[in-house]
């Protein structure tokens, strides 16, 4: 009678250092995958500068806004948003801080956010002081082939240097503006 005994290998338990390295490798791998996917989606959804963009706009209060002139000395940030956008309620305070710092010119474009009076009420209610163009019909956003709000465009000398979407922290926006200044 022959018995078949399987030999099982007993794995030694991992040391705390090995477990930490394993967790760290997993986190780095998932972080890298997330970064690649995020970058690809952001690139796909970002606004695209039109062939002949309208860079001379008028804000909701009737004041002229010349994006080419604003971006001549320093890069300017154009922020596409809407009063109806829940994510924009998170990003708009950051844009207001950036605009208030006066480090870089900031112009916002409120997409399909009502009449000038409704927009003024919204801005006052939230204590936003950034320059705002009212894109009542969404034509400006459509011209830039915008797909999602919020969207951002960095202009330098009237030309788009970067486009991005989604939630962006203040440090990220400042870094992108600084990079457009220096590179």
pLDDT along the chain (183 residues), means of 10: 65 87 93 85 83 93 97 97 98 98 97 98 98 97 94 96 94 96 89
- The C-alpha atoms of residue 105 and residue 112 are separated, in whole angstroms, by 23
* Amino acid 166: pLDDT: 92
Give the rounded distance of the alpha carbon of 139 from its chain centre: 20
Phi, psi angle pair for 75, to nearest 5°: -65, 145
Residue 116 pLDDT: 98
- Beta-carbon contacts of 71 under 8 Å, excluding residues fewer than 6 positions away, are 105, 155, 156, 157, 158, 159
Count of C-beta atoms within a 10 Å radius of residue 71:
25
Angle, alpha carbons 51-84-147 (nearest 5°) = 30
- Residue 6's pLDDT is what? 64
Q: What is the pLDDT of residue 1?
A: 58
Q: What is the pTM of this model?
A: 0.82
Contact criterion met (CB below 8 Å) for 130 and 95? yes
What SS3 state is found at 25? helix
| The two structure tokens encoding residue 102 | 């006066």
- Please list the alpha-helical segments (H only) found in the chain: 16-45, 67-70, 88-101, 116-125, 139-143, 170-182
């Amino acid at each position: 009678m022959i018995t078949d005994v399987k030999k099982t290998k007993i794995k030694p338990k991992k040391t705390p250092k090995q477990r930490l390295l394993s967790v760290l490798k997993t986190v780095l791998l998932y972080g890298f995958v997330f970064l690649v996917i995020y970058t690809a989606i952001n690139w796909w959804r970002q606004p695209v500068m039109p062939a002949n963009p309208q860079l001379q706009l008028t804000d909701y209060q009737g004041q002229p806004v010349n994006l080419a002139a604003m971006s001549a000395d320093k890069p300017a940030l154009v922020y596409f948003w809407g009063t109806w956008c829940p994510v924009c309620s998170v990003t708009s305070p950051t844009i207001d801080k950036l605009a208030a710092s006066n480090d870089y010119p900031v112009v916002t474009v409120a997409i399909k956010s009502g009449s000038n009076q409704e927009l003024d009420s919204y801005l006052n209610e939230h204590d936003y002081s950034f320059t705002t163009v009212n894109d009542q019909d969404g034509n400006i956003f459509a011209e830039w082939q915008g797909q999602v709000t919020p969207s951002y465009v960095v202009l330098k000398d009237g030309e788009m240097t970067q486009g991005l979407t989604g939630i962006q922290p203040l440090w990220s926006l400042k870094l992108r503006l600084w990079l457009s200044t220096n590179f």
